[in-house]
């Protein structure tokens, strides 16, 4: 039976996209997206997602999106494993995006002063 590895999220950028280039010249953008949800008890919680975008789309999102923007991301979930300098095993789970589309600036991102009634965590 086939399997599916697909993630779709709609969230706000916690910081401007960070665009770097590989030794071969391929662009890589790293995004930090926040999504909010409300539990049955009425409390809200924020989940942060690491997103990696490659190639031309990485360059585009790096120029088109800024902190606070609402961004739609679709891709696959990937967990990487490595050893740090002290020999500890580390894991990082991220979404490797094949689609990353900024949907515009939020009211809070457009204002110089934050709205105290806005629950976005940045």
Residue 58 CB neighbours (<10 A) = 24
Output the pLDDT for position 70: 95
The average confidence (pLDDT) of the chain is 87
Least confident piece of the model among 6-15, 69-78, 84-93, 101-110: 101-110
In a domain, 116, yes or no: no
In a domain, 79, yes or no: yes
Phi, psi at residue 25, to the nearest 5°? Answer: 90, 10
In a domain, 15, yes or no: yes
* Number of domain units in the chain: 1
Output the pLDDT for position 107: 55
- Nearest Cα neighbor of 55 from 96, 87, 94 is 96
For every residue of 63-95, DSSP letters joined together read HH--TT-EEEEEEEEEEEEEE-TTS-EEEEEEE
In a domain, 90, yes or no: yes
The pLDDT of residue 122 is above 70: no
In a domain, 114, yes or no: no
Structural domain boundaries, residue 44: 7-105
User: At 28, which CATH number?
Assistant: 2.40.50.140
At 115, is the pLDDT very low, low, confident or very high (cuts 50, 70, 90)?
very low
Residue-wise pLDDT tens digits, 46-96 = 999 999 999 999 999 999 999 999 999 999 999 999 999 999 999 999 999
């Amino acid at each position: 039976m086939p399997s599916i590895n697909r993630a779709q999220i709609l969230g706000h950028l916690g910081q401007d996209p960070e665009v770097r280039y590989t030794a071969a010249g391929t662009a890589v953008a790293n995004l930090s997206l926040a999504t909010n949800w409300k539990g049955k008890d009425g409390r809200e919680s924020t989940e942060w997602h690491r997103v990696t975008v490659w190639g031309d789309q990485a360059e585009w999102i790096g120029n088109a999106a800024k902190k606070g923007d609402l961004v739609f991301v679709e891709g696959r979930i990937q967990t990487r494993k490595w050893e740090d300098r002290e020999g500890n095993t580390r894991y990082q789970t991220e979404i490797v995006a094949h689609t990353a589309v900024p949907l515009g600036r939020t009211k809070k991102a457009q204002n110089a002063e934050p709205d105290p009634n806005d629950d976005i965590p940045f």
